[in-house]
Amino acid sequence: MPPETKKAGPQEAPRKHGWFSTRRALKNEQEVFERGLVNVLDYIAPAAFAVTPQYVQLENLYAKTLFVYSYARYLNTNWLSRIVNLDIQADISMFIYPLNTDEVMNELRRKIGQLQSTETIQAEKGQVRDPQLQTAIGDIEVLRDALARGEDRLFQFGIYFTIYATKLEDLTTLSKQLEALLGGLLIYTKQALMQMEQGFNASLPLGNDELLINRNLDTASLSTTFPFVSSELTSNDGILYGINLHNSSLVLFDRFSLENANSVVFAASGAGKSFAVKLEALRSMMWGTDVIVIDPENEYERIAKAVGGSFLSLSLNSKERINPFDLPKTAQYEEGEDILRSAVVSIKNLVAIMVGGLSPDEDALLDRAVYEAYALKDITTDPRTHQNEPPIMKDLQSILANMTGAESLVRKLSKFTEGTFAGLFNQRTNINLENGFVVFSIRDLEEQLRPIGMFLVLNFIWNQARYQMRKRMVVVDEAWILMRYKDSSDFLYSLAKRARKYFLGLTIITQDVEDFITSQQGRTIVNNSAMRLLLRQAPSAVDKLTEVFKLTEGEKLILREAKVGQGIFFAGSNHVAIEIIASYEEEQLITTNPAELMKIREAEAERAKAKAPGQTVNTTLSSASIAPPMEASTAPPKHSTPSNSPPPPPNSPKQT
């Protein structure tokens, strides 16, 4: 007999029900646990979101979506570039739907039949020929032939512009600006009224076309909407850097609008790097930016005199002096202890450069000696004591002389306090940076003193910048001099990282590209510089720059074959091929080309002879040749390439 089937007893049913209950409880616990986890949506979602018929509000940001409802009969290539390169915050979304060619052919056949019937009826009634009707019939015939030959396809295309602003008034202004710009191209838009949420969602990188407002375009028309065109660097504020070589637009930019205002300029000798930086310095000063230059070759002397600036020559025989023990005045956002500690570190780095390095024991002794030197002048971490007269290098040497184990350090320091170099590093500071254009010349410093002088000047500038915050552009020409020493390269690296907090824009110029970018500090300085200018390079340097800047083959070709003043200009994530341009007056002021300088001397001599006939004239280039009489204001701008045109005639009219 088959075994008897056992029926579930009343006590077994609850056991089955209990299993499902336990499973549901575990599932609920898991859901509760997952709700407590942080996911990607929590990071990107706004804290508040409000939808109105006219706009969408995302926290403190307002957004509005516009769509295109009508296109011109003919679309120009790159018409979208005008929108892409606008200096506005916007998202552009495009949706493309390929249509079935057979279905399109059937629809076109039906449509052309309707139009031809309309044309026949109008002719029978004796009405005047309708040119729009005939044009429509001709367009359809051309499209049918292209589709039949497989040369063309038809698409449905939707494009939406979502613009953003922090104020509703600005949002309205941007909306009108966008509508006017597209309207000038015979491309007409409307606001997605009552559908702002759907328009905003369609602009998100989700691929959801919630508006579904599309128009038919053929392949040729659709190709004109390709958005990846040559970029522009043109903003409402800033200075003119040059001309975009791709589309002849102006490269107009404000370096202080970037995440940091630091800049690096790399170029081979004679490629125009000094010319470009001088031009930027002149134009920046016109916008209220203080300019401070460390000049190794006296190239900025004429500019400083022309603009009423200060030219300070650092040498063993000059009167200008900087005391490395100076403390900056305490700013509201800094503690006195931090200021004193920073000063001690800077002095230790300076001494390390002066004596050729420190052993660990010497470093420890020097640290204690610097603090004691300040203490002897009653200077402590209390900011009120920082107004006391600071010590000088001789005071530090005297303290070290009484320390066991510091004998070698004292001997090395003696030439800077008592010997040949005593006048430069052992006196009180007698200069200031109140002038809008200040040049520190180190040309007359001996070769071994140049890195010391550059470090001393940079530290002095840094102290001034920390106390009084305003726009400053600091130019360090031939920065490779500092990069040869670890202590000075570390200081330059630290300055590049901290400059942003004090409204300071550091400009590094060097022709030794390979040595600069292969060092750890040099690579970090490049990474902390939002603006970069690459001019013509040696072939070996191009490969190194390609690794750092990820250059394309076309960009590498530009750097190899660029003319003087041409190169690649980087501003943040954007970069363009650039040609540096200057007016005639600017070029005469900043050129260092020997042929151009000779012409300026000759023109100066001719003007002097015409003014005072019969008198002997010294043709040595003087400050009077800084700004030769300008020609009429309609004189065309000139490129930085040395010109072969003669200087203006002696009696050319002055511009008023």
Strand partners, 158: 95
User: In terms of DSSP H, where are the helices of 406-519?
Assistant: 407-417, 422-425, 450-467, 480-483, 486-498, 513-518
User: In terms of DSSP H, where are the helices of 36-100?
Assistant: 40-44, 81-84
C-alpha to C-alpha distances, 641 to 269, 275, 560, 638, nearest whole angstrom: 14, 10, 17, 8
CB environment 565-590: b (16+ within 10 A), e (fewer)? bbbbbbbeeebbbbbbbbebbbbbbb
CB-side exposure of 506: number of CA atoms within 13 Å? 26
**Residue 123's pLDDT is what?**
83
Angle between helices 393-401 and 360-376 in degrees, nearest 10: 120
Strands 61-70 and 90-98: unpaired
- Assess contact for 642 and 564: CB atoms under 8 A: yes
C-alpha to C-alpha distances, 100 to 147, 162, 307, 523, 571, nearest whole angstrom: 11, 30, 69, 54, 45
Three-class SS of residue 623?
helix
Q: What is the 3-state secondary structure (H, E, C) of 358-381?
A: CCHHHHHHHHHHHHHHHHHCCCCC
Quick: pLDDT tens for 590-608: 887 778 778 877 887 888 8
For the record, the structure tokens of 288 come out as 């209220």
Q: Residue 597 and residue 589: Cα distance in Å, rounded? A: 10
In CATH, the architecture of 250-582 is 3-Layer(aba) Sandwich (3.40)
Q: Which residue has the tokens 């050319």?
A: 652
Quick: pLDDT tens for 220-241: 889 888 876 566 777 778 899 9
Three-class SS of residue 146?
helix
> What amino acid occupies position 483?
M
Would you list the domain boundaries of the chain? 48-99+153-225, 101-151, 250-582, 593-639
Return the C-alpha torsion angle 306, 617, 602, 614, nearest 10: 130
**Residue 236's pLDDT is what?**
77
DSSP 12: T
- Assess contact for 628 and 600: CB atoms under 8 A: yes
Give pTM, 2 decimals: 0.62
User: Which parts of the chain register pLDDT below 70?
Assistant: 1-27, 228-231, 330-337, 612-656
